Structure 1
Amino acid sequence: MSTASKQKMKAASIRLDDELDDTSTNVPSPPRTAPGQLMGLQGRVLNQQREIEELREALASAKSTGTSVEIPLDMLIEVPGRRRFLTSDQQTELRENLRSNRLVHPISVRPLDDGKFEIVSGHNRVDQYRALGRDKIRAVPEVTTAEEAAASAFFANLMQSELSDYEKFKGFKDMQERHPGMSQAAIAQSAGVRENVLTMLLSFGSLPSAAHKMLDERPDLIGANAAYALAGLTKEGKNDAVVQAIERLARGEIDQSQAVRMAKESGSKPKAKAVQTLKIRAGRATYCDLRISNKTLRIDFQSEEEAARVHAAVQSLLEIEAKNKQA
């Protein structure tokens, strides 16, 4: 056979990639009919349910043994109001710590009926795990009711020394709203704080709404002592003065004690001194009345003639005093 004939036969045997039988990979094609697609979906749902049940069993085992289990981040649900505020610097510090070190304190979660898990504590750790591109985090279970979970989250944050007074106020306010029949004394006792401390913390609630907006962004802007004083001024009708003082505080122009003093003194006029009245007598009769008020001296005589007569003497005395001032 000639070389040309061999080349023709070889060329005829060459096939394109999409013409090749891909029987070696044996990959099933997705179902195209509605019943087939439904069966495929049911299979995936069953797999997810199986994974959820396995995770629940692992959590139950972790609770009994005091260990933790890894939970996918996309199965975690956050409840508003439980997050502890961190500054941008604190967030960066936490992220870099978690980047280089293992998680020392697992987050705590509450299993929900829909297969998700409610974060009880550890919201900031979850945030930084997401920022680091991780898909799972170690957790311990809290088998509690929603109210118990909220209280547990608050008290866990309350134990943090760096928690601001404003964040403590929000936690106690939430507790009051969830337990309207619970007295302030009972709430203080349950939290392990003195009642007068709780009173000062709750005074944040009497501040103007504009002040709350600033505090939501910067919870550490003022402490409970300043809040208590400013709340008292707010009740006196000095809302604008309180807001202006907190705005200057936020700009770093004054400190907390100066803010309270500024709001207190704003719009207030110095009290006028009481008028001093003296009666100059000629025997039993009144010769004149002498009144002194701040920088004013007034003499009231019994008659115009007497006032005119004394006028020259008073003028002469004042001129002598003026010359003495110049000397």
Structure 2
Amino acid sequence: MNATETISNRNALDLARQVLSIEAKAVEALIGRLDDKFTSALELILHCQGRVVVSGMGKSGHIARKIASTMASTGTPAFFVHPGEASHGDLGMITADDVLIALSNSGESPELLTILPIIKRRGAKLITMTGNPASTMAREADVHLDVSVAQEACPLGLAPTASTTAALALGDALAIALLDVRGFGAEDFARSHPGGALGRRLLVHVGDLMHSGDALPKVSETALLTEALLEMSRKGLGMTAIVGDADRLLGLFTDGDLRRALDHTFDIRAARVAEVMTRNPRTIGPEKLAAEAVQMMDHHKINGLLIVDTDGRLVGALNMHDLLRAGVV
């Protein structure tokens, strides 16, 4: 664009809306087209003893990579193979136990047609996604999925736009249907994403974050209030646990308990912490997910939790700052 040219907002917006409308209609058309072939494709993949291999050339190749990635992260082991590279050795990645999903809008991509006979001879199952049900790839498939579109969103009718959007949407539909049938849950998803925020929320346990040993604030039930305050100050969690024999939890003393204690007229220096502690405080087990600790603290509007074992013995403590640092909140 030279200095004298400007963009017409009206024309640009009109064209953008037209593109989105065409692509939306292309995806919507798939809904009415779904039939037994879709469930047959699911069956092939579910009974696959190997891996799902997804392949495509050009823009279809980019969509194939995304489908493989989505399947792999939602419980269906899958990977992408470039059809051009497959002809030069990468076919060795595909075994008789695998299912190949091949994408081509025309259904006549030479690179894919070259490898299909070898795939069939090897015994692998073939699912094709094309925009031409009469194509060679559609005829050779064990299951063909029709992703044809009425028109591309490109004004020239050349750039793959609506066709790639439709293929991607149908690939997502396959992946999510497989996820549901397999009973793949949020924790399973997090195991595939340990480096992300979801992984931190779902896989970190209370025991991974809690303060324990010498860092755990605790005093005996006979301790003076001043001793409890000193313990709180040393450990820096804004609370201390009160324990009996064998570290069995009896109560909790917090900054809030201190403020309430100051409202009463008694000798703070001589008072025992057991007189002003909160009995039966909220607790959680070390095996629980940190996300559950967040939910409990939010629900009860508290900033800290004590961690006890199945016998009610104190084993740890944590506060909201620990959860924030771990990226759980």
Q: Looking at secondary structure, tell me which structure has more helix per residue.
A: 1
Higher-RCO chain (CA-CA 8 Å, sequence separation at least 6):
2
- Shorter-chain TM-score bucket reads under 0.3
TM-score scaled by structure 2? 0.19
